[in-house]
Amino acid sequence: MSTETVTIQKLGGQGDGIADGADGPIYVPFSLPGESVAIARVKNHGTIMSIAKPSVDRQDPPCRHFGPDGVNGTCGGCTLQHMADQPYRTFKRQLVIDALKSKGISAEVGELVPAHPGERRRVVFAARKTEKDMLIGFNQAESHHIVAIEECPISSAAILARLPAIKAIGAALATSAEAFRISVLETLSGLDLAVDGIKKMPDPQRRKAIETVLGLRGIARVSLNGEILVEPSKPIVEFGGVQVSPPAGGFAQATKPAEETMAELVLAHLGKAKRIADLFAGAGTFSLRLARIGRVHAVEGEEKALAALDQAARKAQGLKPVSVEKRDLFRRPLMTSELKVYDAVVFDPPRAGAEFQCRELARSTVKKIAAVSCNPLTLARDLTILIEGGYRITGVTPIDQFLWTSHVEVVATLEK
């Protein structure tokens, strides 16, 4: 380890400051462009010891767990609380611009739709039972050390109010001192807890854990390693006025405002489409909203999510027909011949993107496409394929869903 003073030139894609070193870039978390910082350096990674010249863009972090001076970053949940709002939003929008530019795409990128404190309805906690206590919090950056939290400005009030209950459930379920995960989703009927990483639980402990949950208020369901342990009331989320009971531990957009924004952009673009394919449909985030304007074919590889979508569509009033298909779109994308019956397609894949599906779409006659992505780099690759197939980008909107991190969502709209 060596100590030296460096000047930060720019921010990297993960939000770390980058300084020019004699033997290549040095990555310095919690630093900002223009700052002169003294660092303890190991290879190409620097830890801030002190800031000789702070940036005008530096702010006091809103959360005490982030570190009092904005450089400790004790809690690994957020990485950019030390950055003032406007430069932070500019940075996030620039991530999308740079990703498109890397593939030679010169589309106009809209202003970032901002995220706000208290909006996160889905949070994944790290948990571990110690001799004295039950730790619930987040892993420190690049570490297995759990920082126990007492506040969290990104999380919804409903989750924060139930932290003692979440802690009690974690303590009732823990079978050893090994760390495990508790995914928490705020639903209309209470919190939905999905616990993963706990080994086999003895029956007496299982019964006692169920009793613990039943004695707590505001908990809709607790599942363990994908299986429902106890469900005091069915968890309910709403997609455009349609009620859905999501599968245990299933995917849900992290904030309701970001989901609403994405849905509005998709619906506005697809407009009066009569036949729509929703690919990587999940539990129906877009399908159930789109079914108010046209017939929808929802395709998804996860069986439980698809079943939740299908059940919700059957019960809902005022929807056009919704058909469902279980299919691994990475291995078996909808072929060009199958796409010819649709005049609009929306796809929202995992971070890996939808390369093979886009190759088929590029050869299709689908008039309008809405591409939703949580990874600007794979989105840029997919858009390149569609552009080469004769599509024109009509809009690119970056959306902040993961406040004070380097993650950004994007909705891109295209026409043939």
Q: Which residues are catalytic?
A: 374
Question: Encoding tokens for residue 397?
Answer: 């909107």
Output the CA angle 381-273-378, nearest 5 degrees.
10
**Helix (H) and strand (E) counts for the chain?**
10, 21
Is 400 annotated in some ligand binding site?
no
Is residue 53 left, alpha or beta, with left meaning phi > 0 and alpha meaning psi from -120 to 50?
beta
Is 300 annotated in some ligand binding site?
yes
Question: Encoding tokens for residue 57?
Answer: 């863009």
Cβ contact 354:380 at 8 Å: no
Secondary structure letter of residue 351 according to DSSP? T
Cβ contact 138:95 at 8 Å: no
Q: Is the dihedral of CA 26, 31, 37, 40 positive or negative?
A: negative
Distance CA(126)–CA(136), nearest Å, equals 6
Distance CA(310)–CA(298), nearest Å, equals 9
Neighbouring-strand partners of residue 278 = 298, 346
Q: Is the dihedral of CA 157, 160, 164, 169 positive or negative?
A: positive
Pairing type for strands 17-21 and 24-28 reads antiparallel
Neighbouring-strand partners of residue 399 = 113, 409
Secondary structure letter of residue 193 according to DSSP? E
Distance CA(15)–CA(92), nearest Å, equals 9
Is 85 annotated in some ligand binding site?
no
Which is nearest to 93 in space by CA: 403, 371, 372, 409?
409
- Give Cα 271 distance to the centre of its chain: 26
Which is nearest to 266 in space by CA: 373, 392, 342, 356?
373
A 10 A CB-CB count for 139 gives: 16
Is residue 118 left, alpha or beta, with left meaning phi > 0 and alpha meaning psi from -120 to 50?
left
Is 280 annotated in some ligand binding site?
yes
Residues placed in the known binding site for S-adenosyl-L-methionine: 253, 280, 300, 348
**Which residue ranges make up the annotated binding site?**
253, 280, 300, 348
